[in-house]
Amino acid sequence: MPGGSVPAQFFHGGNTSPEAIRQLLTASPEAAGPLADYAAWTLRRQAQQPGGTLPDGTISPKAFASWQRTYGQAINALPEDVQARFADADTASQAVADAAVARAQALANAKLGAVGRVMNLTEPQDVVRTVGNILGGNTAVADMKALANSASADPAATQGLRQAVADHIAGQFVNPDGALGQQSFRSFVKAKRGALANVFSPAELDNLDAIAADIDRSRSVAATKVGSQGLAGKIAHGGAHFSLDAAGTILGAVLGHHIGLDGEWGALAGGAVTDLAQRFRAAGVARVDQLVSQALLDPALARRLLVKISPNAKPTAYQSAIRGVISALGASNGFRPATVYASPSSPQLPQMGQ
């Protein structure tokens, strides 16, 4: 197949799609991944229609049935393990969320790869670790300035450096499951402000200050308010919404109300937590530290996360604030701001025989 071809040439609603997919997979089995991702995107597009999603963020059976009528033949031509991911509305919702998370991670890794080339590093985790070591060194200001200057010739490398700094910071103060470390985030920002100023603008440093203050306050609340479980047990109204208690902000509620499940979003009790986890995943975030990292880089997302809500607010106020966060998060990950079910760029397929 010619270079630059995209899955839409093979996966579509026409009668020729099944045979085209079979021929492609015979020549290039590795094309199954991009085809599966594209299938998830077409389902996203279907879910954008009125009534396409249920209140819990999953795809409605009606929307899934409509999508299946259009693309059923194409799905049946895919490998069995891919077909199983689109067996029904529930599993398909998970497939869509998985594709969103994978896409967001791929974008982040691409940025890290760009600065990695400047640093002669190939693995994203090595880039983040090395940048962290620079920040922790006695000559952090000079070393970070030198690295920023080296990266400045390539805008992608500059973005990658920012990504590496944000990932390191988030990993230092927030575990993947949302548990908070003991070190003061505000003290870190204050101590490393000179080095961070080589990467972030003054306005972005102010954003770091605001997030740091909220995380430090959330850590203090979690340690003193409800013991070892933090705010985790304060799900109120039968799971209809969270009791923000002393958390005050959406970020504080997220940090206080979530525990990990194999490094992913976890649910303690009630539908509210499970629903929120599904919505975050559909917007491209699977872990709490990823959410914090993106907020460090995106002031618009940070503003949404730092919205303060009274502990006595009605559920509608909380739900409205969460919709704002999900919308900002989707936009941050390249999805359409109005909905988390939006179109990513069509992935490229390998050439036949390669």
Q: What is the pLDDT of residues 256-272, one digit of tens each?
A: 653 332 333 333 333 44
Instruction: Check residue 172 and give its pLDDT.
Output: 87
Answer yes or no: is 61 within a domain: yes
Cα dihedral value 34, 40, 43, 48, nearest 10: -110
Owning domain of residue 60:
7-100
- Please give the model's pTM, rounded to 2 decimal places: 0.75
| Cβ atoms 61, 89 nearer than 8 A | yes
* Contact indicator for 180, 219 with CB cutoff of 8 Å: yes
The rounded distance, in Å, linking the Cα atoms of 36 and 85 is 9
77 inside domain: yes
Query: Quick check: 89 and 64 in contact, CB under 8 A?
Result: yes
Which residues have CB under 8 Å from 331's CB, separation 6+? 300, 301, 337
At residue 227, the pLDDT reads 34
Half-sphere exposure for 115 (CA within 13 Å, toward CB): 31
Q: Is 343 helix (H, G, I), strand (E, B) or coil?
A: coil
| Residue 75, domain member (yes or no) | yes
**What pLDDT sits at residue 276?**
67
Residue 279 lies in a domain: no
Q: What is the Cα–Cα distance from 37 to 246, expressed in whole angstroms?
A: 41
Is residue 221, in this structure, part of any structural domain at all? no
C-alpha separations of 15 from 12, 194, 263, 272, 293 in Å: 9, 61, 42, 42, 45
Number of domains in the chain: 1
Burial of 51 by CB count in 10 Å (0-12 exposed, 13-18 middle, 19+ buried)?
Answer: exposed
User: In whole angstroms, what is the distance from residue 208 CA to residue 345 CA?
Assistant: 30
pLDDT tens, residue order, the chain (354 aa): 434 457 889 999 999 999 999 999 999 999 998 899 899 989 988 887 888 877 666 788 999 999 999 999 999 999 999 999 999 998 998 888 888 888 888 889 999 999 999 999 999 999 999 999 999 999 999 999 999 999 999 999 999 999 999 999 998 888 766 666 667 888 899 999 999 999 999 999 999 999 988 888 777 655 544 333 332 232 222 233 344 444 477 787 777 653 332 333 333 333 444 566 777 788 888 888 888 899 999 999 999 888 887 766 676 777 777 778 888 887 887 664 333 333 333 333 333 333
The pLDDT assigned to 182 comes to 66
Establish if 139 belongs to a structural domain.
no
Angle at 39 between CA 35 and CA 40, to 5 degrees: 120
Domain-embedded: residue 42: yes
Asked, for residue 76, whether it belongs to a domain, the answer is yes
